[in-house]
Amino acid sequence: MNEKILILDFGSQYTQLIARGIRELNIYCEIQPCTKPVNYTADLKGVILSGSPFSVNDPTAPKPDIKAIADKLPVLGVCYGAQLLAQQSGGEVGKSTHREYGRAHLQAIVHDPLFATISDGSQVWMSHSDSIKRLSEGFTILAHTESIPVAAYKAADGYANNPVYAIQFHPEVTHSTDGRQLLKNFVVDICGCTQDWTPAAFIHETVERIKEQVGNQKVVMALSGGVDSTVAATLVHKAIGDNLFCIFVDNGLLRKNEFEQVLEGYKHLGLNTKGVDAKQLFYSKLEGVTDPEQKRKIIGGLFIDVFSEEAKHIKDVKFLGQGTIYPDVIESVSVHGPSVTIKSHHNVGGLPEKMHMQLVEPLRFLFKDEVRRIGRELGIDDIFLSRHPFPGPGLGIRVLGAITEDKVKMLQEADAIYTQHLRDSGQYSQVWQAGAILLPVQSVGVMGDERTYEYTVALRAVTSVDGMTADWAHLPYEFLAKVSNDIINYVRGINRVVYDISSKPPATIEWE
């Protein structure tokens, strides 16, 4: 990477959107907490200050010295960033007469590189309860809106060694119709970035970096069939070939035929993968366990045991490959204290500690959609790239209550019917995640002349962007009718199908 933009995060919910907006312009950028000092490396071309839930008048609000940064590089302050700059430069920020949230329109835009090709009336998205009341001497207002006098401004020429801009609105949200153009004007025209961070360039640089890091040593990696581990392994393989050893564990909680299909897919990708059948070990250790967190711990712990035992058979392996992605790495700016664990998701988190190996993490700086773009460029089959997220504990947290092999088989059949119908009807790619859940509930039914007393399956399908919030997918009734009919007719032991119509929050995507 020979150029990058730094985003100083003050805790806004939109910070990652700024990063994605910049990266879509083929410019690499990183997010860093505002409390960390800026490292002025030669590749750094500009700094963006994010919004924040803090008020600049709050005594505990974070306040890095913006002028010091602007003496080194061009700066763009967004929302809180704009207010902090106003305050630090001798202007005034105070409570707005009313909270401004939602759409507004820029007026009287001044001719300036930041607003090149953006015209009066441009819709922007506001979200603030403080406003800039007064700017320091020599600072220029670049636009106002119907309700605030300072929607955008520029620091006085002599204020710092580089241009300093500030905007009260959020260019990173799609409701700001020229937001992307404004970000482009800043990073390309004002910071001078060349937009050469393409998937092909990323692959080239990453492969070179892995070669340098690993040399002719060996790397071992756990694969899951998911997008991240598959793309990460393909990159490592491109760099070191058969010195990459992959392990895919069948924990008995995968989907129907998934173990065989995924192994076959890996063969096509040229990955040297060992499939390990550990089904019975998992079933035996899970026997009678009903608590969801306990199940997660057992499944995660056993996985580490099985994987590290297998890895021991590979001689002299020094590196552990992982498909870690950027959202797992970004240090969050905590405004309300540490968040409470709702579900312990990172079930393989203990792997690196246990293995005492150096990590190879080629996707450490990518968002999920970028991983898919890289995967496409690497020629990886869409079967891998478009796969719905599937939790590490697999069907273990979708068989509610105690897990038995028979129950897993029942659920695998129901899930396979559901997934096939989703694919056949073109709905699979429309929903973010879908799956079937086996409830620990039996109910009465009638089949032919016989009374039945069998299990219920719940179908779940959600739309979402990142899994943090989700809505239930409004699948057509006819579709649900077909799925329900086929599950009840073809899966022994199930006589009732229900559809989950809860959003997250307050529900979660998984039932356990």
User: What positions carry a catalytic annotation?
Assistant: 79, 170, 172
**Contact with ligand XMP (CB under 6 A) among 20, 297, 343, 387:** 343
The C-alpha atoms of residue 334 and residue 277 are separated, in whole angstroms, by 42
Binding status of residue 431 toward ligand XMP by CB under 6 A: no
442 is written with which tokens? Answer: 């039996």
Residue 296 CB, shortest distance to ligand XMP, in Å, is 5
Binding status of residue 387 toward ligand XMP by CB under 6 A: no
Binding status of residue 500 toward ligand XMP by CB under 6 A: no
**Judged by CB, which is closer to ligand XMP: 269, or 507?**
507
Which amino acid is residue 92, in one-letter code? E
**At 142, which helix (H) or strand (E)?**
strand 140-143
Instruction: Using the Cα atoms of residue 52, residue 57, residue 61 and residue 64 in order, give the sign of their dihedral.
Output: positive
Residue 412 CB, shortest distance to ligand XMP, in Å, is 17
Binding status of residue 225 toward ligand XMP by CB under 6 A: no
- Quick one: which of 460, 444, 459 has its CA closest to 495? 444
**Judged by CB, which is closer to ligand XMP: 368, or 409?**
368
Residue 248 CB, shortest distance to ligand XMP, in Å, is 15
User: Is residue 466 a contact partner of residue 473, using CB atoms and an 8 Å limit?
Assistant: no
Residue 53 CB, shortest distance to ligand XMP, in Å, is 23
Q: Using alpha carbons only, what angle is made at residue 510 by residues 507 and 512, rounded to the nearest 5 degrees?
A: 90
Q: Give first-to-last CA distance, the chain, whole Å.
A: 41
493 is written with which tokens? Answer: 């032991």
State whether residue 291 is helix, strand or coil: coil
State whether residue 212 is helix, strand or coil: helix
Q: Give 30's strand partners.
A: 6
Binding status of residue 273 toward ligand XMP by CB under 6 A: no
**Contact with ligand XMP (CB under 6 A) among 389, 401, 445, 493:** 389
User: Is residue 347 a contact partner of residue 392, using CB atoms and an 8 Å limit?
Assistant: yes
Contact set for ligand XMP, span 346-365 (CB under 6 A): 347
Residue 468 CB, shortest distance to ligand XMP, in Å, is 8
**Judged by CB, which is closer to ligand XMP: 156, or 348?**
348
User: Is residue 54 a contact partner of residue 100, using CB atoms and an 8 Å limit?
Assistant: no
Residue 343 CB, shortest distance to ligand XMP, in Å, is 5
Residue 320 CB, shortest distance to ligand XMP, in Å, is 18
**Judged by CB, which is closer to ligand XMP: 58, or 293?**
293
What secondary structure does DSSP assign to 3-47, as a single string? -EEEEEE-S-TTHHHHHHHHHTTT-EEEEEETTSPP---TTEEEE
**Contact with ligand XMP (CB under 6 A) among 29, 231, 320, 509:** 509
User: Is residue 148 a contact partner of residue 106, using CB atoms and an 8 Å limit?
Assistant: no
**Judged by CB, which is closer to ligand XMP: 18, or 302?**
302
User: Is residue 33 a contact partner of residue 331, using CB atoms and an 8 Å limit?
Assistant: yes
Which range binds ligand XMP by CB under 6 A, 89-97, 341-349, 412-420, 489-497?
A: 341-349
User: Is residue 247 a contact partner of residue 233, using CB atoms and an 8 Å limit?
Assistant: no
Residue 391 CB, shortest distance to ligand XMP, in Å, is 3
Residue 101 CB, shortest distance to ligand XMP, in Å, is 27
| Beta-strand pair 164-167/75-78 | parallel
Which range binds ligand XMP by CB under 6 A, 185-193, 235-243, 349-357, 390-398?
A: 390-398
Binding status of residue 433 toward ligand XMP by CB under 6 A: yes
Binding status of residue 4 toward ligand XMP by CB under 6 A: no
Contact set for ligand XMP, span 60-119 (CB under 6 A): none
Which range binds ligand XMP by CB under 6 A, 42-50, 229-237, 436-444, 501-509?
A: 501-509
Contact set for ligand XMP, span 250-269 (CB under 6 A): none
The contact pattern for ligand XMP, residues 290-329, with x = CB under 6 A and - = no contact, is: ------x---------------------------------
Binding status of residue 504 toward ligand XMP by CB under 6 A: yes
**Contact with ligand XMP (CB under 6 A) among 393, 403, 457, 488:** 393
User: Is residue 284 a contact partner of residue 322, using CB atoms and an 8 Å limit?
Assistant: no
**Judged by CB, which is closer to ligand XMP: 133, or 504?**
504
Give the interface size with ligand XMP as a residue count (CB under 6 A).
Answer: 14
Relative orientation angle of helices 405-424 and 477-490, to the nearest 10 degrees: 140
**Contact with ligand XMP (CB under 6 A) among 467, 479, 480, 482:** 467
**Judged by CB, which is closer to ligand XMP: 240, or 457?**
457
How far, in Å, are 131, 169, 368, 387, 465 from residue 93 at the CA level?
6, 15, 38, 48, 34
The C-alpha atoms of residue 393 and residue 298 are separated, in whole angstroms, by 9
State whether residue 490 is helix, strand or coil: helix
The C-alpha atoms of residue 164 and residue 166 are separated, in whole angstroms, by 7
The C-alpha atoms of residue 499 and residue 456 are separated, in whole angstroms, by 11
Residues that bind ligand XMP (CB under 6 A): 296, 343, 345, 347, 389, 391-393, 433, 467, 504, 508-510
